[in-house]
């Protein structure tokens, strides 16, 4: 029976190991004072260590304890430091220092208390902290991969947006103001072409007039039916003075449009351009690469440039990437102010052509839209189940209004082409530039803001890559430390189990708890 008791294992939880040793008087409760003395002696002894590969490997990446000191003494015995004098004592001061350290450790079994505390600290704090840091590095790497893909996608979208906007404006985008200024010079040719193409609408205009005359049972005078469209068909894109006064001016004083293109830099689009954005929070002029950066881009909305009338080339909403840009007054300011002119002399607005003058151009567009609405309604009537021409109301209608839907569709197509040419995105912007030369500066800034955002996306991408590399490097450095710490903790566990077993007649000793699953 006594033999069975002696073979029973001793199970000690690692977290209670130090208390267990003190309670059973294997070491004193005031062991910390001796431990501080040992630490000082170890630090002093380590400064004068011989060059030895085995010693370097033993001391690398670990906290020196009693069992390390024993191994150091064994290694030193095989070197010149292990030589003894004629009295059988070590002549080397190194050996004396390390033997002195071991004697302090063994007094009152202080090394048992210190090793127990090391095991508790490693299992409870050190190893979990390293694992947590490694897991954080891995998580940040995954987030950086996702953010990098987002930044690449956003930068590509913004550059495509810039390219599409320039394409709609009819420019390359290298020198925006100069290219727009060149296009403005061609605007009169566009107006003349539109005026020439209105001759295609003669049949549609006659159709509209006859239809009105038939329904109203009266002769509609030319001046009552789309007067601006009819005037341009007859006179062409003449000056506004002739439209207002009914005669050509003797002299025309037209103010020229001046667009300042001096000192305009080339707009350069480069992938990965090195740009110093400074502190994104506006505090300093430096960017802290090591700090954790949250490049959230959820507030950036990219809308593709449209071709609807009155829609700008670029609409960008920025919520997270800087202050809102104040473009000032965005209303079109006409520099061509009308003035009192001498008799027979066209000045100010009267010196502008009808399609170049915003007021008369809108009247012309109104006539086109009115005619388009009429033709669209006629198409609906003619393509319905009951053809309106078959009704009794139109049996006595003139042949000029009893036409097929195909002919009306041809008229409507020609009309839509003219409206599309006059209201295209490119021409809309050119007209705004013509009416207000300051608009070209705002348009340039709006276009360049798209490239600025694209450059920021590239900057954020590079910062994300740099941060991911830092996390990869940190993980590579932490993994060996964790491996060494786990290995040394397991060694101390076995050494402590052996030391305790010696004091209990070699009974098996098991240190239990989380130490077995680290």
Tell me: the pLDDT tens digits for 111-164? 999 999 999 999 999 999 999 999 999 999 999 999 999 999 999 999 999 999
Percentage above 70 pLDDT, the chain: 75
Tell me which residue of 92, 49, 91 sits closest to 69, measured CA to CA: 49
- Report how many domains make up the chain: 2
Tell me which residue of 188, 447, 167 sits closest to 327, measured CA to CA: 447
Domain identity same for 212 and 343: yes
Categorise residue 312: left if φ over 0, alpha if ψ from -120 to 50, beta otherwise. Answer: beta
| Model pLDDT for residues 318-331, shown as the tens digit of each residue | 333 333 434 444 34
Mean pLDDT along residues 282-298: 44
User: Residue 453: pLDDT band by 50, 70, 90 thresholds?
Assistant: very high
CA–CA–CA angle 379, 383, 386 (5° rounding): 125
Tell me which residue of 139, 423, 408, 477 sits closest to 309, measured CA to CA: 423
In a domain, 268, yes or no: no
CB 353 within 8 A of CB 389: no
Query: Which residue is it, tokens 């040419």?
Result: 421
In a domain, 347, yes or no: yes
Domain identity same for 255 and 360: yes
Tell me which residue of 238, 240, 242, 212 sits closest to 225, measured CA to CA: 212
CB 214 within 8 A of CB 397: yes
Residue 236 is encoded by which pair of tokens?
Answer: 């062409």
In a domain, 191, yes or no: yes
In a domain, 292, yes or no: no
State whether residue 253 is helix, strand or coil: strand
Domain identity same for 423 and 505: no
> How many Cβ atoms are within 10 Å of 417's Cβ, its own excluded?
12
What's the 3-state SS for 69-108? HHHHHHHHHCCHHHCECCCCCECCHHHHHHHHHHHHHHHH
State residue 31's pLDDT score. 92
State residue 179's pLDDT score. 82
Write the burial class of residue 203 (CB in 10 Å: 0-12 exposed, 13-18 middle, 19+ buried): middle
Report the distance separating Cα 449 and Cα 296, nearest Å: 19
Domain identity same for 336 and 418: yes
Report the distance separating Cα 467 and Cα 456, nearest Å: 16
Q: Give, in order, the Cα–Cα distances in Å from 498 to each of 93, 211, 503, 504.
A: 31, 114, 9, 10
Lowest model confidence (mean pLDDT) among 59-63, 367-371, 418-422: 59-63
Chain center to CA of 376: 46
Backbone angles phi, psi at 316, to 5 degrees: -125, 125
Query: Which residue is it, tokens 């001759």?
Result: 199
Backbone angles phi, psi at 179, to 5 degrees: -70, -40
CB 94 within 8 A of CB 50: yes
In a domain, 151, yes or no: no
Domain identity same for 66 and 200: no
In a domain, 444, yes or no: yes
Whether residue 346 is predicted with pLDDT greater than 60 in this model: the reply is: yes
Could you tell me the residue range of the domain that residue 331 belongs to? 159-263+327-465
CB 9 within 8 A of CB 510: yes
Domain identity same for 232 and 380: yes
Domain identity same for 447 and 499: no
Domain identity same for 227 and 256: yes
Domain identity same for 181 and 54: no
User: Residue 23: pLDDT band by 50, 70, 90 thresholds?
Assistant: very high
Specify the higher pLDDT residue, 186 or 36.
Answer: 36
In a domain, 100, yes or no: yes
Residue 157 is encoded by which pair of tokens?
Answer: 């979208």
Predicted TM-score (pTM) of the model is: 0.60
In a domain, 215, yes or no: yes
Specify the higher pLDDT residue, 353 or 297.
Answer: 353
Domain identity same for 433 and 451: yes
State residue 345's pLDDT score. 80
Domain identity same for 355 and 419: yes
Tell me which residue of 11, 21, 122 sits closest to 486, measured CA to CA: 122
Give, as one character, the DSSP assignment of residue 452: H
Give, as one character, the DSSP assignment of residue 16: G
| Model pLDDT for residues 36-81, shown as the tens digit of each residue | 999 999 988 888 777 777 777 777 656 788 998 988 888 888 776 5
Domain identity same for 51 and 175: no
């Amino acid at each position: 029976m006594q033999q069975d008791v002696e073979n029973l294992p001793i199970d000690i939880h690692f977290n209670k190991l130090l208390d267990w040793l003190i309670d059973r008087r294997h070491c004193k409760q005031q062991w910390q004072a001796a431990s501080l003395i040992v630490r000082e002696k170890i630090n002093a002894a380590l400064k004068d260590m011989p060059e030895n590969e085995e010693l370097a490997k033993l001391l690398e990446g670990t906290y020196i304890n009693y069992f390390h000191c024993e191994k150091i003494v064994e290694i030193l015995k095989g070197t010149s430091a292990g030589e003894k004098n004629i009295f059988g004592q070590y002549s080397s001061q190194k050996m004396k220092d390390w033997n002195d350290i071991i004697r302090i450790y063994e007094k009152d079994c202080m090394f048992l208390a210190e090793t127990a505390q090391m095991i508790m600290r490693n299992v409870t704090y050190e190893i979990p902290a390293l694992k947590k840091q490694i897991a954080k590095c891995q998580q940040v790497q995954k987030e950086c991969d996702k953010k990098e893909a987002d930044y690449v996608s956003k930068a590509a979208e913004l550059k495509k947006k810039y390219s599409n906007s320039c394409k709609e404006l009819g420019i390359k985008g290298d020198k925006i103001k100069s290219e727009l200024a060149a296009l403005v010079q061609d605007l009169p040719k566009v107006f003349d072409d539109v005026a020439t193409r209105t001759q295609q609408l003669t049949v549609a205009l006659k159709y509209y007039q006859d239809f009105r005359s038939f329904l109203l049972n009266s002769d509609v005078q030319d001046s009552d039916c789309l007067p601006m469209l009819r005037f341009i068909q007859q006179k062409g894109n003449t000056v506004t003075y002739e439209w207002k006064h009914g005669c050509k001016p003797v002299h025309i004083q037209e103010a020229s449009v001046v667009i300042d293109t001096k000192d305009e830099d080339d707009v350069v689009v480069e992938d990965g351009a090195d740009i110093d954005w400074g502190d994104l929070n506006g505090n300093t002029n430096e960017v802290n690469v090591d700090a954790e950066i949250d490049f959230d881009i959820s507030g950036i909305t990219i809308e593709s440039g449209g071709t609807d009338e009155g829609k700008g080339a670029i609409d960008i909403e920025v919520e997270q990437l800087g202050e809102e840009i104040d473009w000032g007054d965005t209303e079109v300011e006409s520099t061509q102010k009308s003035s009192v002119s001498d008799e027979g002399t066209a000045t100010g607005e009267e010196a502008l052509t009808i399609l170049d003058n915003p007021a008369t151009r809108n009247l012309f567009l109104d006539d086109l839209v009115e005619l388009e609405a009429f033709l669209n309604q006629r198409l609906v009537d003619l393509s319905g189940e009951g053809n309106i021409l078959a009704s009794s109301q139109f049996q006595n209608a003139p042949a000029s209004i009893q036409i097929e839907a195909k002919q009306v569709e041809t008229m409507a197509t020609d009309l839509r082409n003219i409206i599309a040419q006059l209201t295209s995105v490119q021409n809309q912007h050119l007209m705004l530039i013509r009416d207000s030369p300051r608009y070209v500066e705002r348009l340039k800034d709006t276009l360049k803001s798209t490239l600025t955002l694209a450059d920021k996306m590239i900057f954020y991408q590079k910062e994300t890559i740099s941060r991911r590399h830092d996390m990869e490097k940190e993980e590579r450095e932490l993994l060996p430390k964790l491996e060494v710490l786990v290995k040394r903790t397991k060694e101390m566990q076995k050494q402590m189990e052996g030391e305790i077993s010696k004091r209990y007649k070699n009974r098996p000793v098991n240190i239990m708890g989380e130490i077995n699953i680290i």
